[in-house]
Amino acid sequence: MNIVIAAVGGQGAVLTSKILGTLAQNLGKDVKVSEVHGMSQRGGSVVAYVKFGDKVYSPVVEKGTADIVLAFEMLEGARYVDYLKENGKLVVNTQKIDPMPVITGDVKYPSDLSEKIGELNIEYIPVDALSIAKNAGTIKAVNVALIGVLAKNSNIKKEEWIKAIKDTVPEKFLELNMKAFELGYNLE
């Protein structure tokens, strides 16, 4: 399984990669995780790769080979959609965060991203994860809300996902994150 996590700095991509890595370990899989932070502390792009299977030799996911792209923001989803293999799955938070060129007025945020992504030969799952996280009690749980949606659309048992979250998330944040997971998992 090859997973690309695409986010903006501060959205929880690193924690998400740890949860997915723990999930793979709990399933008895060989797993490799890699993170690229770039200018993440200034609102830039953050990408993490999670690969697991019987034997994994490299943590890097190459373009055209990802089973899943889990994107925490629309533009990041569009930026990394070419990492998906044919019939791959894009789970994307529909939230839009203006990058610096949009903030400075050099360019406009693309208004037709969702329509263009929907035309691709992929499984496209847009989710308002920001609203789910707000309903759970904190916008910081966008990442775990998306994990809930991903879990619902996977063939891995829900209990395995819950165990991975409990094994990874600090105790003081666990209740809010479990609520976000459940809301994402039960999204209609």
pLDDT at 43: 64
Predicted confidence pLDDT, tens digits, the chain (188 residues) = 999 999 988 788 899 999 999 999 999 999 999 987 665 555 678 899 999 999 999 999 999 999 999 999 999 999 999 999 998 999 999 999 888 888 899 999 999 988 999 898 899 999 999 999 999 999 999 999 999 999 999 999 999 999 999 999 999 999 999 999 999 999 98
Interatomic CA distance for residues 72 and 51, integer angstroms:
19
Q: Are 65 and 85 in contact (CB under 8 A)?
A: yes
CB atoms within 10 A of CB 105: 7
- Record the tokens describing residue 70, joined without a space: 């889990």
pLDDT at 40: 54
pLDDT at 35: 83
Location of structure tokens 């791959």: 88
Angle between helices 171-185 and 129-136 (to 10 degrees): 130
Nearest to 15 by CA among 154, 160, 145, 116: 145
Interatomic CA distance for residues 46 and 169, integer angstroms:
20
Q: Which parts of 1-40 fold into alpha helices (H)?
A: 13-26
Nearest to 75 by CA among 144, 6, 2: 6
Burial class (CB in 10 A: 0-12, 13-18, 19+), 142: buried
- Record the tokens describing residue 99, joined without a space: 């990058």
For 1-38, write each residue's pLDDT tens digit: 999 999 988 788 899 999 999 999 999 999 999 987 66
Tell me if residue 128 falls in helix, strand or coil.
coil
Task: State which H helix or E strand residue 166 sits in.
Answer: helix 158-168
The structure's pTM equals: 0.91
Q: Are 66 and 82 in contact (CB under 8 A)?
A: no
Domain architecture of the chain: domains with CATH: 2-132 (3.40.920.10)
